[in-house]
């Protein structure tokens, strides 16, 4: 089983990814970022998920703001004001660990050098801070999988080519992309190509266990928002990244290129720029995932919902 350390801002699709991780991997910790909603909510939501799973996974709260610029937008319109569909869960029993997310990332990778897969499902603030504290971090990590970016410029934020996780903290993404010599990039456009059919997904939810019941309840606001935006299907970006982290063989097609993050653009700040033609001669640090094995992905999700 892979050993995962998940940096996350739950978040409805983060929640699905966290369910998948606990079904298919050893989860060493959840380090929490601000993003979809504020840190108090995302940290609490992670604790709610640990309760639901009856797990003992430690939850490490991280940075409450991006490294440099304050965010221009959140994603409450997708995830609910509380980040989990405004269901109104009670105060979780699980407490947050008394260690900052960035420090927990450094400590755990020291304890298990070369063993841990980092899964980044949120703005990259905590990871960037950890890298600035200790630039040798990449040498101790087995793999890094990032959910972020829009590789041909079809983003999902107020800046057309910027995807949310990268656009929220572009400087942090820049630090991570410049520091890691090798990572997998699961981008927003891949997510749209791998949405689940809604009716099929509803069958899985109906046939599943308490995890499916939970997911069905938190998914309502996101479903409504998607409909209003004319999107069909269950779009779960972080679940795709988690599938790639759990089982790399789910990747059917990928290309390795250098990817940079735009920090200054008037219209493009937060864009991911892929050197598709390898014209800059810079080290190709990103494996851009272009296609997944959809049945395999579906099976991983169904098992995590208890419906297989
Ligand atoms: C990413 O942004 C968040 O809203 C999701 O949780 C996902 O991590 C998609 O752009
Ligand atoms: Ca997320």
Task: Give the mean pLDDT of 158-162.
Answer: 96
Report the alpha-carbon distance of residue 105 to residue 145 in Å, rounded.
15
- Ligand 1 pocket test target in 34, 42, 121, 195 with most atoms within 8 Å of CB: 121
Tell me what pLDDT residue 28 has: 98
- CB atoms < 10 A from the CB of 171, how many? 17
Query: Is residue 231 pLDDT above 90, yes or no?
Result: no
**High-pLDDT (> 70) share of the chain, %:** 100
- Share above pLDDT 90 across residues of the chain, in percent, rounded to a whole number: 93
- Tokens standing for 227? 């409909």
CA of 164 to the centre of ligand 1 (A): 6
The average confidence (pLDDT) of the chain is: 97
Ligand 1 centre to CA of 306 (Å) is 24
Is the C-beta atom of 183 inside 6 A of ligand 1? Answer: no
Question: For residue 142, what pLDDT band results from cuts at 50, 70 and 90?
Answer: very high
User: Which tokens go with 176?
Assistant: 């991570």
Establish whether residue 240 lines the binding site of ligand 1, counting it when its CB lies within 6 angstroms of any ligand atom.
no
Ligand 1 proximity of 14 Cβ (cutoff 6 Å)? yes
Task: Judge whether residue 229 has pLDDT over 90.
Answer: no
What average pLDDT does range 242-260 have in this prediction?
Answer: 98
Residue 35 Cα to ligand 2 midpoint, Å, equals: 7
ipTM given for this complex: 0.98
Q: Model confidence over 94-123: pLDDT tens digits?
A: 999 999 999 999 999 999 999 999 999 999
Strands 272-274 and 259-261: antiparallel
Distance between CA atoms of residues 91 and 74, nearest Å: 23
Residues 5-29 pLDDT 10s:
999 999 999 999 999 999 999 999 9
Q: In what order do the strands lie in the sheet with 251-257?
A: 59-61, 26-32, 3-8, 116-120, 141-147, 183-186, 286-292, 251-257
Question: Model confidence at 36, in pLDDT bands (50, 70, 90)?
Answer: very high
CA-to-CA distance for 251 and 141, rounded, in angstroms? 20
Predicted pLDDT of residue 125: 98
In b/e form, how buried is each residue of 7-19, taking b as 16+ CB within 10 angstroms?
bbbbbbbbbbbbb
């Amino acid at each position: 089983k892979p050993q995962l350390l998940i940096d996350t801002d739950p978040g409805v699709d983060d929640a699905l990814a966290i369910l998948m991780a606990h079904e298919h991997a050893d989860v060493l910790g959840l380090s929490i970022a601000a993003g979809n909603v504020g840190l108090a909510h995302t940290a609490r939501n992670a604790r709610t998920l640990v309760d639901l799973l009856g797990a003992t996974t430690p939850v490490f709260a991280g940075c409450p703001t991006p490294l440099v610029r304050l965010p221009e937008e959140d994603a409450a319109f997708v995830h609910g004001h509380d980040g989990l569909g405004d269901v109104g869960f009670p105060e979780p029993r699980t407490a947050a660990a008394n260690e900052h997310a960035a420090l927990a990332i450094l400590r755990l990778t020291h304890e298990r050098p070369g063993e841990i897969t980092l899964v980044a499902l949120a703005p990259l603030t905590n990871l960037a801070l950890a890298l600035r504290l200790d630039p040798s971090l990449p040498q101790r990590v087995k793999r890094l999988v990032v959910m972020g970016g829009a590789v041909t410029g079809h983003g999902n934020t107020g800046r057309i080519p910027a995807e949310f996780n990268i656009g929220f903290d572009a400087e942090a993404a820049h630090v991570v992309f410049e520091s890691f010599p090798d990572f997998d990039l699961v981008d927003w456009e891949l997510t749209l190509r791998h949405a689940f059919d809604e009716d099929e997904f509803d069958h899985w939810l109906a046939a599943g266990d308490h995890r499916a019941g939970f997911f069905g309840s938190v998914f309502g606001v996101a479903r409504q928002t998607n409909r209003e935006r004319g999107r069909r299907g269950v779009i779960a970006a972080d679940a795709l990244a988690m599938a790639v982290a759990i089982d790399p063989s789910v990747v059917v097609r990928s290309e390795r290129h250098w990817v940079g993050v735009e920090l200054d653009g008037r219209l493009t700040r937060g864009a991911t720029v892929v050197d598709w033609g390898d014209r800059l001669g810079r080290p190709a640090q990103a494996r851009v995932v272009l296609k997944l094995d959809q049945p395999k992905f579906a099976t991983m999700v169904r098992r995590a919902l208890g419906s297989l």
